[in-house]
Chain A
Amino acid sequence: MLPTRRRLLTAATAAAIAVTTLPMAPGLIGPTVAQAAEGGTVTWAFLRRPQSLDPNIWSGGSDLGVMRQMYDTLIWSPAPGEFQPGLATSWTASDDGLVYTFELRDDVTFHDGTPFNAEAVKFMFERIKNPDSKSLNIGAIGPFESATVVDEFTVEIRLSEPWGAFLTNVSEPHLSPTSPAAVAELGEDFAQNPVGTGPFMFDRWSGNDLYMVRNPDYNWGPEMAGVEGPAALDGIVVKEVPEASTRMNALRSGEVDVIHFPVMSQVSQMEQGGFQVFRLPQPGFSWSLPVNVTKSPTDDLRVRRAMLHAVNNEQIVRTILFDQVPPAYGPLTAVTFGYDPAVKDSFSYDPELAGQLLDEAGWVLPEGGTVREKDGQPLQIKMAMFESSVNKAVSELAQAMLQQVGFDVTLNVANYPAFATQVAEADYHTAQMRWSAVDPDQVIPTMFNSNQITGGGQFNRTRIADPELDELIRQAGAVTDTKERAALYSQIQAKAMENVWIIPVYDDVWFFLAKPEVQNFIVDRQGRPMLYAATLAQ
């Protein structure tokens, strides 16, 4: 229902743009919007107080959802490989793929009144690159080399090597221009007093609640929002509600309008009760269990294959996630650019086959025993997990499934830092992974490149180090032809499943629940709300 409505709105706006001289009220577009009135404040019950609202420095996944409301990007991406003007009206790439030139809008001001221009774009790239800023988004600018101001509203970005994912990254909220004047004036306080160009402006903090008000001058929204001019809503309140059942209750009692991260078992009940449920499949790396290929016994492909056939992902999805998300079959989720449906045939739940494979590998069940042995050694593996939403429940079920075919699984559920330390020390056979990102180049290199085994976030939890694979990953990232890229990613996905580098469990889906009065609730490609387009029925 959502994409259809979005298309409709996009079409409506496209028609409207043809007569740009006419002032467009958002209320004129689409049948649902017509019933809604201007104004009102949407209260969004949020998991936790956003830690920082500086998009260039901080990379907290859900916090970026808040930042979307206050910032704009140079370009917007309605679909994989498609881009629309944002703060940039047009852009070109040089033939060698090294220089991108952006023509900028000349009528944009930051919330503090200072003008947006080429200097501001240059400032943003250089600020992220500067080690003193300690930016967590250094990956979002990839092989960025330098930025040049051509004239007041033209900026050139030079890369040190071609990068297929550059434009996708430019469309992501990490690369939202921040007011250089405000950054200079506020220093580290900028993170709590953000100044962007977006449809809503930071107003104040009250306790842990964030108040935003409409930007009355806003006139540079993206086409994909389907509306023009300033936002219809007067403002947004982001209220910290850490406990999931309290979020559900606050929505029921009407104290908040929108919630995320619901109690899964209550989602369908709420839907029947008339609340809107938005299911937003996440592009990126599926929730999976990468298997350590460097440690015995999982260095044996037959053992890894046995694990793959022993874990029943469909049952996990049914029992723990109440069938609200799809099972995963490969490293990339089904909605990610480059996802190859062929992975679906790479395995199926088959505990008997798992037993056979273990027998072949020499791990046999002793008379009357439940744990397989080889040369007197029990078949022991360590599973590392961190405590967050359903992680514990899913891993406990997977543990039980592995034990059924004769593994002895030690499960360690810790907080994230302790988990990360265990991973860094390679003290595991399998450790959880999942990642939201719109482009496979933001995912695949991080998961399978040998330079991710040590250092950084240690996200190559498979610990696969293969120069040929590294080269393949590099190629897939550098190629700018969409078809060619997809073919290269297909190869990598096939390799991942043939060698059982991971046990895929489910494709992550984000949930938003909203009161029926909240209308035209649309999201960006990563499922972040764009409340710019939303209205409240009176």
Chain B
Amino acid sequence: MAGYALWRIGAAVPVLFGMVLVVFLLLNVLPVDPIQVMITQTGSGQAPSASATQETIDNIRRELGLDRPLHVQFLAYLGNALSGDLGSSFRSNQPVAEMIAEQYPYTIRLALAGLTATLVLGLTFGIIAGLWPGSLIDRLLVLVATLGIAAPTFWLGLMLIFAFSIVYPIFPVLGVGSLQAIFLPAITLGLPGAAIVARLTRSNLAAVMKEDYIVTARSKGVSGRLLVLRHAMPNVLAPVLTVIGLQFGNLMTGTVIVETVFSRPGIGRLGVDAILQSDYPVVQGFTLVMATTYVVVNLMVDLIHMWVDPRIRDQ
């Protein structure tokens, strides 16, 4: 088992290297001069209030090493990244690692809250629908789940704000500061995943409930909650676990939008702003952290999978 785990961890290294390389190349083929980024201000559509001279521009370019050949720049970046130095933002001059360290906890908190929403809503509705397939409540839940998958996160967030912050002022509009504040962002983020989990749980549970061992358990007098949770769910959960691992990627992507709609800090916002402003070092750092998170989460899911599924464990 330890060997398998080590092999999985080792396999993540080339994935991350490839990702860094691809992002580096992509950013360098864009028709954008990063120095323009540094001397202009975009957010408000405001032009800079003072202009830089050509000399300033050349100086900045030399200082940042942007006049060196591409492969030299890449190797330098890689070397620094390995020692935790992700460079400095073109715009604010802050170290990228610092910027990410500041924003990352907010995103992880939001992602975990979203994951909780996915699991609680998805499993609850999935189990109810799965136990009574074909019933009215089942059909209703399938309909809601389909809508949940289809609804754009951006729209969903604004609708939830309108309903639960303006019409019925239960939750704050701004999604940061208190425990209550994370509720709407978590629902917005977790709902599409919940819909998928609900549908998967429902179909798996409906199938498992017809299996021989359930019939056997039932004939031995096991019933109700024990039958479902003890006997049926372990077999239902294995594929659900895999989907959750994959869903975590969507969840991380979703934070980008949810953080904007609910004005939460986070690296999703940081990344999008950086992309809009062509702030390469930040885009690179952002992609690296997002990809690492995704790889680590899926590694964890694999290990948990191995632990809950004896068939993999014994291989």
Instruction: List chain A positions with a Cβ less than 8 A from chain B.
Output: 45, 47-48, 51-52, 59-62, 64, 131, 134, 136-140, 172, 174, 188, 191-192, 207-208, 239-243, 245-246, 249-250, 252-253, 255-256, 261, 285, 386-389, 391, 415-418, 420-422, 424, 433-437, 442, 446, 452, 454-457, 459
Q: How far is the CA of A252 from the CA of B173 in the complex (A)?
A: 9
Contact A455 B278 (CB under 8 A): no
Residue of A nearest to B162 (CB): A249
Contacts of A243 in B (CB 8 A): 260-261, 263
Measured between beta carbons, the chain B residues less than 8 angstroms from A246 are: 158, 161, 173-174, 261-263
Chain A residues whose C-beta falls within 8 Å of the C-beta of B276 in the assembled complex: 387, 415
Closest chain-A Cβ to B27's Cβ sits at a distance in Å of 11
Interface string of B252-266 (1 = CB under 8 A from A): 000000001111110
Q: Find A207's partner among B37, B43, B106 (CB 8 Å cutoff).
A: B106
Q: Is there an interface contact between B44 and A249, defined as CB atoms closer than 8 Å?
A: no
Query: Is there an interface contact between B49 and A415, defined as CB atoms closer than 8 Å?
Result: no
Asked if B45 and A51 make an inter-chain contact with CB atoms under 8 angstroms apart, the answer reads: no
User: Are the CB atoms of B169 and A253 closer together than 8 Å?
Assistant: yes
Give 28 CB contacts A-B under 8 Å.
A45-B263, A47-B43, A59-B49, A131-B59, A134-B60, A136-B50, A136-B52, A192-B94, A207-B176, A239-B263, A253-B166, A255-B173, A386-B45, A388-B43, A388-B45, A415-B32, A416-B40, A417-B36, A417-B278, A418-B32, A420-B33, A421-B32, A421-B33, A421-B36, A433-B47, A436-B49, A452-B51, A456-B57
Cβ-closest chain B residue relative to A61 = B46
Q: Taking the complex as formed, is B92 at the interface, i.e. its CB lies under 8 A from any CB of chain A? A: yes
Q: Are B50 and A137 in contact (CB under 8 A)?
A: yes
CB distance from B113 to the nearest CB of A (A): 15
- A-B pairs with CB below 8 Å: how many? 177
The 10 closest A-B pairs by CB, nearest first: A61-B46, A139-B50, A455-B54, A388-B45, A416-B42, A207-B265, A417-B278, A420-B36, A456-B51, A241-B263
CB-CB nearest in chain A for B161: A249
Is A418 a contact partner of B47 (Cβ separation < 8 A)?
Answer: no
Q: Is B199 in contact with chain A by the CB < 8 A criterion?
A: no
Contacts of A192 in B (CB 8 A): 94
Given A138-B50, A174-B50, A421-B31: A255 touches B172 (CB 8 Å cut-off): yes
Interface residues of B (CB under 8 A from A): 30-34, 36-37, 39-57, 59-60, 91-94, 106, 158, 161-162, 165-166, 169, 172-174, 176, 260-265, 269, 273, 275-278
Whether the pair B51, A60 counts as a contact (CB closer than 8 A) is no
| Contact in complex: B166, A252 (CB < 8 Å) | yes
Does the CB pair B169–A48 fall under 8 Å?
no
Among candidates B48, B162, B264, residue contacting A59 with C-beta atoms closer than 8 Å: B48
Q: A331 to B264, alpha carbons, bound, how many Å?
A: 39
| Interface majority SS (helix, strand, loop, mixed), chain B | loop
Complex Cα–Cα for A239 and B57 (A): 33
Closest B-chain residue to A427, C-beta based? B31
Chain B residues with CB under 8 Å of A51's CB are: 91-92
Q: How far is the CA of A60 from the CA of B30 in the complex (A)?
A: 24
State whether A136 and B261 are in contact (beta carbons under 8 Å apart), knowing that A249-B165, A420-B36 are contacts in the complex. no
Q: How far is the CB of A205 from chain B (nearest CB, A)?
A: 8
Give the docked Cα–Cα distance between A174 and B49 (Å): 9
Contact B174 A61 (CB under 8 A): no
| Contacting pair B40 A139 (CB below 8 A) | no
Asked whether, in the complex, the Cβ of A60 is within 8 Å of the Cβ of B50, the reply is no
- Bound Cα distance from A230 to B67, whole angstroms: 51
Q: In the complex, A389→B44 CA distance in Å?
A: 8
Which chain B residues border A446 with CB–CB below 8 Å?
A: 51
Measured CA separation A435–B72 after assembly (Å): 39
Closest A residue by C-beta to B272: A242
Cα distance, A507 to B68, chains bound together (Å): 43
Given known contacts A250-B174, A454-B54, A391 and B31 CB-to-CB distance under 8 angstroms? no
Q: Among the interface residues B40, B53, B59, which one has the most CB atoms of the partner chain A within 10 A?
A: B40
Q: Is the CB of A418 within 8 A of B278?
A: yes
Residues of A within 8 A of B91 (CB): 51
Query: With a CB–CB cut-off of 8 A, which chain B residues contact A140?
Result: 49-50
**What residues of chain A lie closer than 8 Å to B49, measured between beta carbons?**
59, 61, 64, 136-137, 139-140, 172, 174, 435-437, 442
Please indicate the chain B residues that have their CB under 8 angstroms from the CB of A415 in the complex: 32, 42, 275-278
Known contacts A59-B41, A59-B49, A191-B92: does B30 contact A418 (CB below 8 Å)?
yes
A385 to B54, CA, bound (A): 23
CB within 8 A of B173: which of A253, A420, A434, A452? A253
Residue B174 contacts which of A48, A138, A241, A433 (CB distance < 8 angstroms)? A241
The distance from the CB of B96 to the nearest CB of chain A, in whole angstroms, is: 14
Alpha-carbon distance A186/B269, docked complex (angstroms): 27
**A431 CA to B56 CA, complexed, in Å:** 24
Q: Which of B32, B260, B263 contacts A417 (CB 8 A)?
A: B32
CB of B174 within 8 A of CB of A456, answer no
Contact of B45 among A139, A250, A424, A434 (CB under 8 A): A434
